[in-house]
């Protein structure tokens, strides 16, 4: 992926970004998130920096993500979005249990919140795969062998958004790194395996 591809990207909640080859460094805003809180029944926060492109096809999006885990819920995330009330994100997050974990949120009106596997260290590979209206989230420790974290359906318009989120819901923000980015207009044979 070359820097030229990112010329098609736009912002929701514009922030600072440094682009070099297939690497993004995005500054998260303080107190920023995307989350439709089930306890409140509405969007409680939609102010995280989201650097995205609009597409209308199946895809595989991968990135190696790293951040410093300063505050609870700080996260690098890959996200697909139909609108403010229909979206899903795959995060590498500092949880409220003090772990570094692969966390997923699927929102169709109201968000859920699912902590997944704990990861040692500050880096992991994340992957979103789309085939029709079905998605799979995966993670990897080495960028080669991916393991499924979530499998779900999400209704989308013909044109939808996909990209990168830097969030810091309780913190002061900071720099969040997305490296080794691969974004392909192709489908997979096995969504659960991501291949």
Instruction: Determine if residue 140 is left, alpha or beta; phi over 0 gives left, psi from -120 to 50 gives alpha, anything else beta.
Output: beta
Tell me if 189 is assigned to some domain. no
What's the chain's average pLDDT? 94
Q: Say if CB 100 and CB 120 are below 8 A apart.
A: yes
pLDDT at 1: 41
Tell me if 88 is assigned to some domain. yes
Handedness of CA 44, 47, 49, 54 (dihedral sign): positive
Structure confidence by residue, pLDDT tens digits, 52-69: 999 999 999 999 999 999
Q: Which residues contact 38 (CB under 8 A, 6 or more apart)?
A: 110, 111, 112
Could you list the residue range(s) of the whole structural domain that residue 146 is in? 3-184
CATH classification at residue 152: 2.60.120.200
Distances (CA, A) of 67 to 1, 96, 98, 116: 22, 16, 15, 18
In the block, tokens 């974004």 appear at: 183
Tell me if 128 is assigned to some domain. yes
Q: Take residue 125 and report the two structure tokens written for it.
A: 């590979």
pLDDT at 88: 98
Q: How many domains does the chain fold into?
A: 1
- Provide the pLDDT confidence category of residue 43 given band limits of 50, 70 and 90: low
Distances (CA, A) of 118 to 97, 115, 122: 10, 8, 11
For the chain, how many helices (H) and strands (E)?
0, 17
pLDDT at 3: 58
Structure confidence by residue, pLDDT tens digits, 102-154: 999 999 999 999 999 999 999 999 999 999 999 999 999 999 999 999 999 99
Tell me if 73 is assigned to some domain. yes
Tell me if 120 is assigned to some domain. yes
* Predicted TM-score (pTM) of this structure: 0.95
């Amino acid at each position: 992926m070359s820097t030229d591809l990112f010329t098609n990207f736009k912002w929701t909640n514009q922030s600072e970004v440094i682009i070099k080859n297939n690497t993004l460094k995005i500054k998260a805003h303080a107190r920023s998130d995307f989350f439709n809180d089930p306890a409140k029944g509405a969007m409680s926060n939609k102010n995280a920096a989201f650097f995205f492109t609009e597409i209308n096809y199946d895809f595989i999006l991968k990135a190696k993500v790293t951040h410093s885990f300063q505050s609870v819920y700080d996260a690098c995330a890959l996200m697909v979005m139909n609108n403010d009330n229909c979206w899903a994100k795959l995060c590498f997050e500092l949880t409220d249990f003090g772990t570094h974990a692969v966390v997923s949120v699927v929102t169709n009106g109201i968000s859920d919140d699912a902590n997944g596997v704990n990861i040692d260290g500050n880096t992991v590979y994340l992957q979103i795969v789309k085939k029709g209206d079905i998605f799979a989230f995966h993670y990897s420790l080495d960028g080669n062998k991916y393991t499924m974290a979530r499998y779900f359906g999400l209704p989308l318009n013909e044109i939808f958004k996909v990209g990168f989120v830097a969030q810091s819901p309780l913190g002061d923000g900071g720099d969040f790194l997305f490296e080794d980015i691969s974004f392909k207009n192709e489908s997979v044979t096995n969504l659960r395996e991501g291949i």
